[in-house]
Amino acid sequence: MGIKLSRRLYHLILSILWGLLIFRSISIFTSVTEYSVFIDLILVGCIFQISVYPFIKNIYKFGFPKIIDFFRFSSFIFLPLNYLNIADQLNEERVGIYGILLINKDFVTESLFCVFICLLAIGIADKMFSLKFHEKNNVTFPVVKNVVLKNLNVFISISFFFISIQFYLLFAGLIGYGADSTYYAENQYSFVLQFLSSFSGLFFITYAILKYLYDFDTRKFNFYYILYCVLYFVFGLYSGMKGTIIFGIVYILLPFYFSGRSLKKSWIVSILVVGFLLYPINTEYREILAHNENISKDVALGLAINSAFQIKDFGEKSSSSYNERLSMFPYLVKSLELENKWDVYKNMERYFYLPISFIPRFLLSNKPTSDTGSKFQNLIFQDTNNSITPTAYGWAYLEGGLIYAFLQFFLLGIVISIFQYVVNKKTIFFLIFYSTLIVQMLVVENDVYFLLAQILQSVFIYSIYYKIFFKKIENGNNM
């Protein structure tokens, strides 16, 4: 298991990336001749060195990135890279929030510095653990087949029961795009929805692990595996949540990759095509749902597909959808600008709830609610019809500035490092958790508190799941 990079290719990749970065920086500085821009570009270079460089270095060194490398890499893509794309257009409204708010240039440098400080905190935590534990043995690890599925029929039956529940909740308007986020976050039984929602992805990754790592290849298993895949992706389309489909693809690719298999060119092309088509369709679908309250999801999806594939607008819509998805930097800048007005969660006081965050709300009514996106939207636009995120960095800064941001990311680095270096990796439990954790690391929009709470809740839920469906064997080599 591992991605092989020769020394020559490794240095070539780094040289090309640094060359592109320097070329774009020179282009920006020649068109925007302000001293602050020079500082900004220096910060971008520093961020590249502690985010993209470790990602590539660990692939070269170990054959695969560390868990935290996925977060660092995504952070660069969504924030500093976004800054590089718009640095010479900051006086134009179209690059701001929703294309209507100008970016406050007074907070641009501090925003980039915030990203640098937070990534530095993660790097310090990772270094502390890597010095204590053998780094290579904790980045790559063998797949040990020491457990068996207790009952395949029970597993299949329960998996389809849960995906059916997901469809019911979706069409009842309790989950998915357009659902009442405040109700979902504050209702005393919200833990039930969270519990149920976590299981569709959990079963999905387990199907993929059993298929590709444990060589489940019977006709019966393959039939239900394919059927579950279809239902999962259909659910993703109807839910309006882009991440469901993208993460579903990742859930399949990780076990497939760990098994040592190689993707056929036709599969690679298919995945790229699906990914390219997904965003314009999803964006149209969400727009239709947002502006037509009584429309059915079937009709909305049909209209979205038809609209997205209008030939004359397809390229423009696709480009616009991806630009919106990658344009997170303006939201980060806005969070720094509004930090002194934000009074929802401050000074990390809510972190006292973190160790007991898995306790249901009807038993712990005062625990933090995950409706901060709509509250941040309300602070900017005085409405709660949408939910926006200033990314993990913005949420951390809103707690009270750079010091609190550093502390939160240091804590995040410690938690991820525990799973990277300390937790026993020779179990299917770890494989399942590892795969879902990598997916979580690809998302930089999450509030650090709720990300950590989700990780702790996942440990609790996955432990129960593991006990229900699997049993350990002493010297088994196959399931």
Q: Where residue 313 falls among pLDDT bands split at 50, 70, 90?
A: low
Is the pLDDT at 478 greater than 50? The verdict is no
Is the pLDDT at 57 greater than 90? The verdict is yes
Average pLDDT of the chain, as a whole number: 83
pLDDT in tens, 214-252: 888 889 999 999 999 999 988 888 887 777 887 888 888
Whether 82 and 326 have beta carbons less than 8 Å apart is answered as: yes
Q: 133 or 296, which is more confident?
A: 133
Phi, psi of 470 (to 5 degrees): -125, 155
* Residue 433 CB coordination number (10 Å): 21
Q: Where residue 434 falls among pLDDT bands split at 50, 70, 90?
A: confident
pLDDT value of residue 324: 60
Q: What pTM did the predictor assign?
A: 0.86
